[in-house]
Amino acid sequence: MKVAVVGATGMVGNVMLQVLREKSFPITELIPVASEKSIGKIIPFGGLEFPVVSMQDAIDRKPDIALFSAGGETSLNWAPKFAEVGTVVIDNSSAWRMNPDHKLIVPEINGDLLTSNDKIIANPNCSTIQMVLALKPLHEQYGIKRVVVSTYQSISGTGIKAVEQMENEREGVDGEMAYPYPIDQNCLPHCDVFLENGYTKEEMKLSNETQKILDPSIKVTATAVRVPVSGGHSEAVNVEFEKDFDLSEVRSLLHQQSGIILKDDPTTNTYPMPLYAKGKDEVFVGRIRRDESQEKTLNMWIVADNLRKGAATNAVQIAELLMQKQLIPSMV
């Protein structure tokens, strides 16, 4: 099993390598790919050392799977070239997510849609993945009409420069700014770029991707906020249903959902926090309660590690599913 990791030296690429190691993914040859300046850099993996290679060198080796985390433009340019040589691409950028010809996959929700014809598979946005995983069993039972979500997103979602900015600010060091304002001791209602409608791209991803993954009839409105947390996204989610619900049944449905862990006991101050979710693959849900201002409406708090389930882990889980379903050409 030849596996290319495109963007191997970046934050998500590093976590992809870590998750592949942890899951003992059956790699016979690792092909790390990064920018020109990183070519030749050694990546240790499984007791061996693998040099970073160029994009074309990786294509020439015809990997079975390529895990992409190198930005949308890189993916648009190179993912089709990998697909042409028979590689199955799992892309973590936004390049293919809303393309009607490509599937947007969270394995626990819609992994059954994958077929041998899928050569470029989109990994959803980090904040979308954790939300839809919690929404799925509730939508099946009660029918979701509308979702109002406010996010509290880690700076790691922006990348290493944002993490360095916050560390510099905390140490009183002048350095490169990833944001237009300080992030330490601050909250920025500004995730990704602003669009003509006044929303940011991140906010529209939550709306558009939820509709594509779960149901186009679900109305979603979002406010995405960057907070000075080094790892883990949190979301306050308000959900209006077609049918009324029982809170004990809601908890039971969430408890039974693969990939979800309930942390919901106010009497013991038990609720999800990014501090607890960091480094874990599950999505944590708590603060479950009725919205007393409106009928058939639920409030909940959802937290996950954005670099793991929100990115790397979900991509590797897609790769595992492809293997289980024997949808990788070399396995047929």
Residue 112 φ then ψ, to 5°: -70, -10
Q: How many residues does the chain have?
A: 332
Active site residue 191: no
Per the CB < 8 A criterion, the answer to whether 263 and 286 are in contact is: yes
Per the CB < 8 A criterion, the answer to whether 228 and 155 are in contact is: yes
Strands 297-304 and 233-241: antiparallel
d(CA 43, CA 55): 16
H or E element: which one contains 275? helix 274-277
DSSP labels, 11-57:
HHHHHHHHHHHHTT---SEEEEE--GGGTT-EEEETTEEEE-B-HHH
d(CA 22, CA 45): 11
Per the CB < 8 A criterion, the answer to whether 164 and 175 are in contact is: yes
Which among 139, 191, 233, 255 is annotated as catalytic?
A: 233
**Residue that has been written with the tokens 């590689």 in this structure:** 87
Which among 102, 126, 139, 191 is annotated as catalytic?
A: 126
Active site residue 255: no
Catalytic residues: 126, 233
